[in-house]
Amino acid sequence: MTASHIDYTIRFAIDPAAAARMDTDALRANFHIGDLFRQGRISLTYSHYDRMIVGGAMPVDRPLALETIRPTGTARFLERRELIAVNIGGPGRIEMNGESFRLEPRDMAYAGMGEDVTFSSEDPAAPAKFYLLSAPAHQALPRRHIRIGDAKRLDLGSAATSNERSIFQFIHPEGVKTCQLVVGMTQLAPGSVWNTMPCHVHDRRMEAYLYFDLDDSARVLHLMGEPSETRHIVMAREEAVLSPPWSIHSGCGTANYAFIWAMAGDNVDYTDVEMVPMETMR
């Protein structure tokens, strides 16, 4: 039985031909994830793409325990899973098997297989917002707290191509070890609006994006689909989108923004991608 403070939905895998026939409502129903951060609740989306779970936890005046949901088929949520939580709200705390870590905005915590996890906010007037990412695990790895200043930073792009950006790699082969989760954050500079263009696909890993650091009226047009059969989904602040392994994942905003990207699948190799030539895009 699911705890009263947890809601979940299930998203099934969609093949490229089916996605190409979808209208706007169908695309959003299958790939867009909204209402992630609701006061006093944990909201989860269980995806059949590499069994990734995407969610949000927003504790206010009491802690929120991450308890199991029916799709995992286990007595405890992380019995056979690992978890990454990134805080995009006010200061908060994550407790893992009795050890507590304080997460400032844009800090991340990793919980390995077998951990029990609880989230809390330091100030109910400015609650923490924990963006949650979980995938199946095959071994228990040490819990870790990674501050934004500790992430591997790469400054790429240029103002001339509207994609000047800083990439923060929280999880990478030379740093914190995971079973399969790879997570990072990209911050676009003022005046830059494009992400992941030229684009790519990676058939061995799915990906999920969370767009944030946007004004209420700002939007990002997220591009998806096969390179020869592209579609778009209009994204608002603090909304997520699922990207199947066969799909491109790119976006263009009405202003600069930040987004958290997360992958799960066969490997943790950032370079294992297939670049898409611009002349083949449709």
- In eight-state DSSP terms, residue 71 is G
Residue owning tokens 């407790």: 95
Question: Any binding-site annotation on 200?
Answer: yes
Residue 237 is classified by DSSP as T
Instruction: Give the largest CA-CA distance in the chain.
Output: 54
- 207 is annotated as contributing to ligand binding: yes
Going 240 to 243 to 51 to 204, the CA torsion angle's sign is negative
48 is an annotated ligand-binding site residue = no
Distance CA 107, CA 119 (A): 14
Report DSSP state, residue 38: -
Q: What angle do CA 251, 257, 261 make, to 5 degrees?
A: 60
User: How far does the chain reach from its first CA to its final CA, in angstroms?
Assistant: 46
Cβ(262)–Cβ(181) below 8 Å: yes
Cβ atoms within 10 A of the Cβ of 35, count? Answer: 13
**Cα dihedral 140/142/147/153 (nearest 10):** -70
Contact assessment for residue 129 and residue 238, using Cβ atoms and an 8 Å cutoff: yes
Residue list for the binding site for Zn(2+):
200, 202, 207, 249
Which residues are part of a known binding site?
200, 202, 207, 249
